[in-house]
Amino acid sequence: MVFKPQTFHHEPPQAEIDDPTEAALEARVAEALARVGSADASQVAVTVAGGVVTLTGNVGFPREVDTIAEAAARIPGVEAVDNRVQAMGTDIH
């Protein structure tokens, strides 16, 4: 059996990342949100453009909306947070 390296029209395949710095920042923010103990951010998407983090998706309670935005803002490299997350339930007092 002969193994050949993968190529596309005789060129090696390449992954395309618009900005590796933004991709790394996006990963750091997503990891930080996953570690927030007082909020479930499993349904929150993170995108980064020009240092601005955009959060979209849903959380269970209104208090979690602010909690995840604050966690994202604390990550080095984040210049601003555009928080578009919506709460699906209501906080119990």
Q: pLDDT tens digits, residue range 32-47?
A: 999 988 888 999 999 9
Q: pLDDT value at position 60?
A: 92
pLDDT band, residue 54 (cuts 50/70/90) = very high
Q: 35 lies in a domain? A: yes
Question: pTM to 2 decimals?
Answer: 0.74
pLDDT band, residue 49 (cuts 50/70/90) = very high
Number of domains in the chain: 1
Q: 26 lies in a domain? A: yes
Q: 11 lies in a domain? A: no
The answer to whether residue 24 scores a pLDDT higher than 80 is yes
Q: 10 lies in a domain? A: no
Q: 70 lies in a domain? A: yes
Q: 5 lies in a domain? A: no
Q: 14 lies in a domain? A: no
Q: What is the CATH number of the domain that holds 37?
A: 3.30.1340.30
Cβ–Cβ < 8 Å for 63, 91: yes
Q: 4 lies in a domain? A: no
Query: How many whole angstroms separate alpha carbon 36 and alpha carbon 69?
Result: 11
What Å distances lie between residue 13 and 4, 22, 78, 80, CA to CA? 13, 22, 31, 35
Domain assignment of residue 73, given as a range:
20-87
Q: pLDDT value at position 15?
A: 52
